[in-house]
Amino acid sequence: MPTRSQQRAHTDKVRLLGRVNTLTAETSKTTPSILKRDARTTGIQSYDTRTNSCSSSTLETDSNELKSHQSLKIITEVDETNIEDILNLSSISRLPTTFLTEIREDKIYETIYKEIQKKLPFEHVVQIPPVLKLTEQEPPSKQPITIDDDEVFDDDPSFANDVSSPTASDKPHSPSQDGYDTDIESESVISSSRDLTGRTQYRDACLQAKIIPCSYFLAHIQDREMILRYHQFSTEDVRAIAKALSSNICIERLFLDGNYLQQQASKYISDMMVTNDFITELSLADNRLGGGGESIAEICRMLTINRNLKKINLSGNRFNDMDATLLIDAFDHNRTLRELNLSHNCFGEECGKAWGTFISGNETLEIIDLSWNNIRGRSAVDIANGIKENVRLKRCNLEMNGFGPDGGKILADCIHQNGALEELNISSNRLNTQNAFSIAQAILVNDSLRVLKIGNNQINCDGALAIFLCVKANESNILGEVDFSETVVTQEALDTCEDIIKLKDGKFQYRTGKVTPRILQPNSISECYIKTDADYLKKLRTKAANAKAHFS
C-alpha cells in the first residue's frame, strides 16, 4: 500500500494541474528579454553558454553530470505533462523562478516543494529570499518612505537596515537611534505642553469635585482682569479656581467680591496668592471675613508673605477693632502694598491709635480708604495726626466718619503741613463753619492739594465762601476740584468759582448745594453753627481781588 506521504503527494499533484495552466499562460506572454533575464537570475543556461563559461560553478556541476552520463532536461514551462519530471529533478535551478515562487507562497503546494527538497543534496538547494507573510492580526505598515533626490541610499546603512528588517518601523523611537546624546528635545516637548493658563488644572479639579466649571472663568482665563463678583461660589468652586490661578501667568487683577468666602475658601485664596507671582490687585470686598475667625488669620498670613500685591480691597467685611490689630501687624510686614481699601467696616474708637501709628510710619502706602467706618472722638484725632505726619500718602478718603470739630482742626493742619497729599475726602464728618475757616487758611499756603471733597457737613455759606476765596487768592495752588455738595451757598460764592475757572483756563470744577442770595442767620442753639467772622471774610475778599488783578 502507498504510504500517507505518497498519497498526499499524489493529491497535491492533481491540485497543481490547475495552477500550472495559469502559469503557462503568464509565461507565454513574457517578452524574450524578460525570459533571458529570468534565465540568468535562476541559473538556466544553454549548453553552449556553459561550455564558454568554464569558471562558473554551474558549468562545473553540469560537467560532472555529463561525465556520469545522466541525461538532464531543462524545464522552461511547467504543465500537466512534466509533473513527474519535476518530482524527479535533481536540481531546482532547472525550474522557472516564477514556478518556485508560486509553490512556495501557496500552502497547497507546500508538500510538493518539500518532496523536491528531500530528494536534493544540501548543496543544490537554492536559497530563495524570504517572502513576508501578512496575517489578519498583523496588518501591513502604511508608513510612507519619503525619498530625496539628493540622497544616495546605497551608501546609507540605516536605510538598508530599514528595508531588510521588517520590524524596524515597529520599534519605539529613542534618542539613541537618532544619535542624540542629550535630553534637550524632551525638555522642549515638556515646556511646550505646559499649561500656563491653568485651564487644564481647573477642568481636572472640577471633574474631581463633580462640579460644573464656570464658563465665564474659562472664557476670560487669559485676560489681564478676572471679574468674579457675586457668583455665589461654593467652597469647592473656590478651590478649583484657586488651583487654576496658582499656575496662571496672565491674570493681574482678580475680583472676588460678594462670594461670602468661608474659612476654608479663604485659605484656598490665601495659598493661591502666596504661590502666584503675577496678581498685583486683589478685591475681596463683601465677603464677611471679619469677626476674629480663621478667615482674617489667613488673609493676614497672605499679606505677610506675599511680595507682589500692590492693591487690595477689603471693604465690607465687618472688620472690627480686634481685627484691626491683626491687619495692622500684617500691613507692617508688607513692603509692596500701594493702595489699601478698608471702607464699609466697623472700625471704631478703640483702634484709632494703632491706625494713626501705622499711617504715620508707613512709607509705601499711597492711597488709603477708611470711609464709612465708626471713627470718631479720640480715634479720629489719632488718625488725623497720623495723616499729618505721613510723607508718602497721596490720596486719603475719610468720608462718612465722625471727626467732628476736634478732628476738623487736625485735618486743617494736615492740609497746611502735608506736602504730599493730593486728594482729601472729608465729606459727611460733622465739620462746622469754624473748621471751614481753618481749612481755608491752610489752602492759602498749600501747593500740592488737587482735590478737596468737603460736602454734606455742617458748614454754612460763609464757610464755603471763605474756602473759594482762598482758592482764588492762592496763586501757587493747583486745586482743580472742590466739592461742596449739599451745602447752601450764596451767589457771591458762585461768582467767585466762575472767576477761578477763568484764572485756571477752565481747569477747575466745583459742586455746591442750593443757592440763596441772603446770608443764612447763625443758629445759636447748635454748637456746629457759629457767628460769621465778617472781618476775616473782608480780608479774604481783598486778597482775592488782588489775585485777580495780578492774574490779569
Dump pLDDT digits (tens) for 499-535: 999 999 999 999 999 998 665 555 545 555 556 778 8
pLDDT at 153: 40
Using left for φ > 0, alpha for ψ between -120 and 50, and beta otherwise, residue 179 falls in left
| Strand boundaries in 160-285, DSSP class E | 225-227, 253-255, 281-283
Q: CA dist 157 to 154, 172, 466, Å?
A: 8, 19, 100
What the block records as the C-alpha cell of 363 is: 512709607
Q: Are 324 and 352 in contact (CB under 8 A)?
A: no
How do residues 288-319 score in pLDDT, each as one tens digit?
Answer: 999 888 999 999 999 999 999 999 999 999 99
Hunting for cell 481781588 — which residue is that?
545
Q: Which helix (H) or strand (E) holds 430?
A: none
Which of 478, 379, 463 lies closest to 422 in space, CA to CA?
478
Q: Are 437 and 533 in contact (CB under 8 A)?
A: yes
What the block records as the C-alpha cell of 384 is: 488725623
Tell me the percentage of the chain whose pLDDT exceeds 70: 62
Give 515's DSSP letter: B
User: Residue 432 in 3-state DSSP?
Assistant: strand
Q: CA dist 232 to 68, 294, 455, Å?
A: 107, 20, 36
**DSSP codes, 304-363:** HH-SS--EEE-TTS---HHHHHHHHHHHHH-SS--EEE--SS---SSSHHHHHHHHHH-S
How do residues 31-55 score in pLDDT, each as one tens digit?
Answer: 444 444 444 444 444 444 444 444 4
pLDDT at 406 over 50: yes
How do residues 347-382 score in pLDDT, each as one tens digit?
Answer: 999 999 999 999 999 999 999 999 999 999 999 999
Residue 99 CB coordination number (10 Å): 23
What's the CA gap between 534 and 536, in Å, rounded? 5
pLDDT at 315: 97
What the block records as the C-alpha cell of 3 is: 504510504
pLDDT at 552: 43
What's the CA gap between 59 and 363, in Å, rounded? 108
pLDDT at 544: 85
Q: State the number of CA atoms in the 13 A half-sphere of 18 facing the CB.
A: 6
The three state secondary structure string of 387-425 is HHHCCCCCEEECCCCECHHHHHHHHHHHHHHCCCCCEEE
Q: Tell me how many degrees the CA angle 340-344-345 measures, rounded to the nearest 5.
A: 85
Query: Which residues, 6 or more positions from 35, have their beta carbon under 8 angstroms from its beta carbon?
Result: 76
pLDDT at 433: 93
What the block records as the C-alpha cell of 179 is: 544619535
User: Residue 346 in 3-state DSSP?
Assistant: coil
Which of 374, 533, 544 lies closest to 470 in space, CA to CA?
544
Which of 464, 390, 403, 468 lies closest to 429 in space, CA to CA?
403
**Domains of the chain and CATH, by start:** 4-124 (no CATH), 197-337 (3.80.10.10)
Q: In what order do the strands lie in the sheet with 367-369?
A: 225-227, 253-255, 281-283, 311-313, 339-341, 367-369, 395-397, 423-425, 451-453, 481-483, 509-511
What's the CA gap between 225 and 384, in Å, rounded? 35
Stretch among 62-76, 144-158, 192-206, 491-505 having the lowest mean pLDDT: 144-158
How do residues 128-138 score in pLDDT, each as one tens digit?
Answer: 444 444 444 44
Average pLDDT over residues 436-458: 96
What is the band of 170 on the pLDDT scale with cuts at 50, 70, 90? very low
Which of 486, 485, 467, 487 lies closest to 477 in space, CA to CA?
467
Query: Which residues, 6 or more positions from 413, have their beta carbon under 8 angstroms from its beta carbon?
Result: 384, 388, 442
pLDDT at 291: 85
Mean pLDDT taken over the chain: 78
What is the band of 20 on the pLDDT scale with cuts at 50, 70, 90? low
pTM over 0.95: no
What's the CA gap between 387 and 352, in Å, rounded? 12
User: Residue 62 in 3-state DSSP?
Assistant: helix
What's the CA gap between 273 and 299, in Å, rounded? 10
User: Residue 94 in 3-state DSSP?
Assistant: helix
> What are the residue ranges of helices labelled H in 246-333?
263-275, 294-305, 321-333
What's the CA gap between 244 and 205, in Å, rounded? 8
